[in-house]
Amino acid sequence: MHLHPLENKDQTSDYLDKTNGLQQKKRIVRLSLWVLLLVITLAIFLANWELENKGEVLKESIQNRLQILAKGRVDVLSNWLLSLSTQGNQIIQSDLFRLYASEIDLIEEDIVHLLVTPVDHQQQQPPQNVTHLSEQLPLMQTLLEEFTQYSGFASGRIINRSGQSYIATDANTVPLDPHQTSLAKMAIDGNKVIYSPAKATGNGLFMQIYLPIKAPSMADPQERPIAALQLNKNISGKINEILSKAPLIDKGEKTRLLQQEGQQLVELVPWLPGEIFPLSQASHVELELSFGQRPSPRDQREVFSLAMKIPQLDWWILQETDYAQAISPANSHRRATISIIALGSLLLLVLIGALWWKLIGVENRKMAEAFKQLAAQIDEQRQLLDNINGNLSEYIGLKDNRGLYLYVNQAFADVVGRPQNEIIGLDDAAIFGFDSAKRLAHSDNKVIESRQQVTLNEELYLQSQRYDLQISKVPYVSSDGNISGIISSFRDVTEQLKNQKRSEKATRQTIEVLAKAVELNDPYLAGHSQLMSLFAVEMAKNMNCSESIQATVETASFLSQLGKMFVNPQLLQKPAVLTDDEKDQVEKHVEHAVNILQDIDFDLPICETILQMNEHLDGSGYPAGLKNEEINKAARILGVSNSFCAMIQPRSYRPARHASETLEVLKGESHKYDLEVIAALDEVVNSAIGERIITSIHPSTEA
């Protein structure tokens, strides 16, 4: 068949057009594939760089966290050791001990006469001055025993320059071993506090502290001391407390306390049998650890760790975290990055396919414009929120579930004295201190458990300035309904609390004036309200009563006698026993007091307590004859305190009674008074506080 030349030309032209179009599409596809390969290569390079950078940032974060934790433990241990020496200073600064040690130092060669009494006349009698010191020895030993018991030490000794003990608190005193003698002489010769290594005993870990004792006349601080005080301290509980797992410790983190013993290193573990664990793999050189990856000295697992030395003695805090758990965020990030690259490559491949069909059409431009508008809206909303948070006077912070800050407003950054970007990634311990962080962690846990707002008042020191803050915390809930963090709002209420305290002080002074006005009406009531308040508050504290009950008994004590202003003074001061009618008139003082006070808003059950304080458990009291649980706890405390204070003070019809006699009288009337309250009164009366209170009204009478 033959084709028409024009038809043939048209077919050839169509063929060439189709061929050229196909070739052009092939070139576009090849170019797109090359672009895809280039993008994937560049993405892998950038991802690898970003992962390495992320790993370094993660290591730096781990290092900072371990340094903060180790430094916190070191500071706590160091301050605790300093507090032990400070306790010891209470007795070695005593002029009595320093003078006695000075006199002992003068008779060093005759110290055996001080400790051994001649048994017959043939033995050489000690010098007169030695006899004098020997007579004082029991008193000095008693003082040292009282000090060690009061301060929580197991035992104590006074050691002279020759290494001899001449005062000791334990009955069966074991002589000093050479090491102890050496430490005592180091404290004396070096004029400094010496701490011994911890030793394991059947009763726990013990440490000895040696403090130099100077003569009373030593004006030069460099002058050599004359003796040393050795104090023996059980440290198992304190070490266990300091090393125990805190809320801020993440899973896999360990805190170890290491001690140098000659060339050997041991770990102090008071919660395990034996309490001291030898570390054969560690040496003194290895303890000078900067941050790094290495095997743990105890179980050889791979960890990140660093060590810090305790300044006072050869102790080190070794802070470590499990390597696998520490780098798990980096591994997760690596997997996420690989997934993103794969998804990105797939997305690019899809886009190339779309380009094949549409060659970057109008839809792509519309989509780009839509994304641009969306980004503009998001940026506008972000700026609006930043402006709002930036102008709030409250300090706003957002923490994740690990306790690390993700966002703080400018007010927060200003009050803690750090730029906003430096606060991101820190926790409460790094910002507010270890002790404050422990208190704040309790409220964080409460927010997470209850999934509700928690409000608390907290005292914090920021930039060396004290703040009273009202803190409101709410859970930050993600779109999936899980709590992913906590939003905290700190409100400065320092001035409000100051004004409140001024108001409370004015109220308290007004109450005291009313109490004094009542006492002017009856000379036998002088000081009664104050005395009753002192005993009642101490009894409430002894019974672990709430602050509300303590405040109630304190205020009600001063106002309880107010109604006696409306009772005939002759009846209050009558030396003889009152008749029934007279007794009824006197007992109406309770109703008079309540009538005066009932319209005042105390925000405490003051009137109820005053009305019930004269009631008895058996119903024999007045004015309503209440029984047992019908009488509130504050009224029971005031009832016992009122009766006790009335009996130990004189009245017109009888002299004052002795405190011990009064206690026996109250114990014999258990049908009237609460035995728990009487037991609390007994402990208060026989305490140092009770003795001071009673001595203030009876200077010549012992409690």
Average pLDDT, the chain: 79
Provide the pLDDT for residue 27. 73
Categorize the per-residue pLDDT at 636 as very low, low, confident or very high, splitting at 50, 70 and 90: very high
For residue 165, give every residue at least 6 positions away whose Cβ sits within 8 Å of its Cβ, in sequence order, or none. 157, 158, 159, 173, 175, 176, 230
Under 8 Å CB-to-CB from 400, ≥6 apart: which residues? 406, 484, 485
Q: In 3D, which of 631, 465, 604 has the Cα closest to residue 547? A: 604
Say whether pLDDT at 650 is over 80.
no
Choice among 104-113, 270-279, 677-686 with the minimum mean pLDDT: 104-113
Q: Please compute the mean of the pLDDT values over residues 75-82 and round it to a whole number.
A: 91
**pLDDT greater at residue 194 or residue 6:** 194
Tell me 656's DSSP state: P
Alpha helices in 107-194 (DSSP H): 111-115, 128-151, 178-190
| Residue that has been written with the tokens 């010891």 in this structure | 88
Q: Among the listed ranges 286-290, 583-587, 590-594, which one has the minimum average pLDDT value?
A: 286-290
Order of strands across the sheet that contains 465-477:
405-408, 395-400, 483-492, 465-477, 454-462
Q: Which residues contact 356 (CB under 8 A, 6 or more apart)?
A: 25, 28, 29, 32
344 vs 453, residue with greater confidence:
453
The per-residue pLDDT for 7 is 46
Q: How many CB atoms lie within 10 A of CB 95?
A: 8
Domain spans in the chain, listed from the N-terminal domain onward: 93-234, 392-492, 498-697
* Dihedrals phi, psi of 154, to nearest 5 degrees: -75, -40
Query: What pLDDT digit, counting tens, does each position of 455-474 carry?
Result: 888 888 888 888 888 888 99
Give the confidence band of 79 by pLDDT, cuts at 50, 70, 90.
very high
What does the alpha-carbon distance between residue 611 and residue 596 come to, in Å, rounded to a whole number?
Answer: 12
The token pair at 266 is 């041991």
Q: Which amino acid is at 519?
A: E
What H or E segment, with its residue span, contains residue 294?
strand 292-295
CATH of domain 93-234: 3.30.450.20
pLDDT of residue 537: 92
Long-range own/partner contacts, residues 80-83 (CB < 8 A, 24 or more apart): 80/238, 80/242, 81/195, 81/310, 81/312, 81/313, 82/312
Q: Which residue has the tokens 């009373």?
A: 216
Examine domains 93-234 and 498-697 and report if their fold is the same. Answer: no
Tens digits of residue pLDDT in 382-421: 666 666 665 667 888 899 988 899 898 888 888 888 898 8
What share of the chain in percent tops pLDDT 90?
A: 11
- pLDDT value at position 389? 60
pLDDT at 193 over 90: yes
Closest CA to 227 of 363, 106, 385: 106
38-73 pLDDT, tens digit each: 878 887 878 788 778 888 888 888 889 888 888 988
pLDDT the model gives residue 576: 74
Q: Supply the DSSP string of 485-509, one letter for each residue.
A: EEEEEEEE-HHHHHHHHHHHHHHHH
Which CATH class for the 392-492 domain? alpha beta
The CATH number that domain 498-697 falls under is 1.10.3210.10
Statement: residue 503 has pLDDT above 60: no
pLDDT of residue 281 exceeding 80, the answer is no
